[in-house]
Amino acid sequence: MKAVWAVPGVALLALAAPLAARTIDNRGIVRDFVERFYDRRDVAGSFAAHVAPDYIQHNPGLPDGASAAVEALAPMFAAPGSRFDVKHVLVDGDLALVHLFGQGKPGTSGAAVADIYRLKDGRIVEHWDVIQPAAPGSDPLAMAAHPRGPGDTARNRRAFTAFIDLLFARGDVAAAYDRFVAPDLIQHNSRMGQGRADAVAGITALRAAPGAAFEVQRILVDGAFAAVHYRGRLSTEDRGAAIVEIFRFDDRGMIVEHWDMFQPLPETSRNAHPMF
């Protein structure tokens, strides 16, 4: 198994202070964008207020530029009966992640979506997403009915950095999960059972496939939540998939809940950028 951890843990921890400052600056911008875009569905207004005209697009179905995104998204967001229910918002330095249930076409089962945005000088300048259709009758974004505190970002960043290092750079699934994941892990991936042991068994089997490779692109940590965005391949012939995994930490600093989204890479794209 080949694994790549793109940002060494020591370097990431050294960036904690400037990340915190940029997070404060960007949180209000992201909050207003989310409210306008997803809640009020004011696509044109939200992009005019917060998105740079030369917006870099990694969604393979869209060309670059804010105007192209508005043209494509405005009719879908305006469709009667469509739904865009935001579940989590993470802001970490210049990055933001919005985790939502999207149903652009009424009558369909909808999809679990992770939108990732990069900000620069107070504007959103780049976008990635991972979209996974929901199984009929399922709720892949359901949240456990457990009390949640605000979470300790600094502590959880240290834990998540070490978790990602063990899991991706060293490929030691059992050590990563035994050290940082609670035995009674709440799992929202319908292909896995509940609990830490089932997660370790499932992930170990996937990573043991000949030619499997997992390349981390970026991570975000915000309070009780952390996310990793990466490219996964299960063989050398596999084009691969864009994947986002989201984890919730409890007050002890242990991972207690997990969501993920998976989108295979298409053969063609309407922009020149990879999905990563």
Task: Identify whether the C-beta of residue 200 lies closer than 8 Å to the C-beta of residue 173.
Answer: yes
Q: Which domains does the chain have, with CATH numbers?
A: 2-16+143-264 (3.10.450.50), 21-133 (3.10.450.50)
CB within 8 Å of 109: residues ≥ 6 apart = 103, 133, 134, 135, 136, 137, 138
Cα torsion 144, 190, 171, 264: sign: negative
Residue-level pLDDT at 142: 58
Q: What pTM was computed for the model?
A: 0.89
Q: Which DSSP symbol is given to 84? A: E
Residue tagged 């989108």 (tokens): 263
Q: For residues 178 and 16, what is the distance between their CA atoms, to the nearest angstrom?
A: 26
Ramachandran region, residue 270 (left: φ > 0; alpha: ψ -120 to 50; beta: rest): alpha
Task: From residue 217, give the alpha-carbon distance in Å to each of 8, 162, 214, 220.
Answer: 12, 16, 10, 11
Render each residue's pLDDT in the chain as its tens digit; 276 residues: 444 444 444 445 555 556 666 777 899 999 999 999 999 999 999 999 999 999 999 999 999 999 999 999 999 999 998 999 999 999 999 999 999 999 888 778 889 999 999 999 999 999 999 999 987 666 656 554 454 667 899 999 999 999 999 999 998 999 999 999 999 999 998 888 899 999 999 999 888 888 888 999 999 999 999 999 999 888 878 788 899 999 999 999 999 999 999 998 888 888 888 877
Residue-level pLDDT at 3: 47
Residue-level pLDDT at 145: 47
Residue count of the chain: 276
